Amino acid sequence: MKSYFTKTPGFIMRFFSKYTWRLSSNKNEIFLTFDDGPTPEITEFVISELKKFNAKATFFCIGKNIRNQSEIFRKIISEGHAIGNHTQNHLHGWKTSNEEYLKNVLACENIISELDQKIGASKLFRPPYGKIKNSQARHLLKNGSKIIMWDVLSGDFDTSISKEKCLQNVLKNTKKGSIIVFHDSVKAAEKMKYALPKVLQIFSDKGFSFSKIN
């Protein structure tokens, strides 16, 4: 299955410079992100592990999952984590018309606003699969969205790698300011549940903190 970069090359970050790939910081902090939830038990596992280390993270949620798991969604917010938009139905931007894609993004925004009036419509957006047309991105950026990508991909979704390899993908590529992708999904659960506690422990021991994206 391996057809992705576990460490995003610099030339890609420079070419798509209007997207956020990593964050500059004066502190030893890294930014954990979780895509595709909320998912029963799995998202709750993530929240529990984060709490042990006083860690904050950013959850890029699918609108239909927010609707179906509204209590878990509210728990993410009540624990002080950030919410991002991951479309209503996990659409692949390259394979979707602009009109359909942007309507799907808006549908997710509306659910986020409806369920939590305090945060309103999240302006953090991550395209599913990391695939988005330039025309789609221009529209979102023009309307105030921040397109949040990553510089470290754990590969927890990849059925062809081991859980140990998933952990090493994160450990060997993460540095100050890194944005790391995990998934709180059924498919990724086994590898994520193995890697996440170790990532939290190892980087905490090195003096790192875990922050949400604003």
Strand, helix or coil for residue 197 = helix
36 catalytic, yes or no? no
Neighbours of 192 (CB within 10 A): 25
- Kindly state the DSSP code that residue 95 receives in the 8-state scheme: G
Q: Which pairing describes strands 58-61 and 29-35: parallel, antiparallel, or unpaired? A: parallel
Omega before 38 within 30 of 0, i.e. cis:
yes
Q: Catalytic residue among 35, 116, 151, 184, which?
A: 35
Alpha-carbon radius of gyration of the chain: 16
- Rounded Cα–Cα distance for residues 212 and 146 (Å): 14
Largest separation between any pair of C-alpha atoms in the chain: 47
133 is written with which tokens?
A: 């047309």
183 catalytic, yes or no? yes
Cβ atoms of 177 and 32 closer than 8 Å: no
- Rounded Cα–Cα distance for residues 68 and 64 (Å): 6
- Kindly state the DSSP code that residue 160 receives in the 8-state scheme: T
Q: Catalytic residue among 81, 86, 183, 184, which?
A: 183
The residue assigned the tokens 């902090």 is: 29
Q: Which residues are catalytic?
A: 35, 183
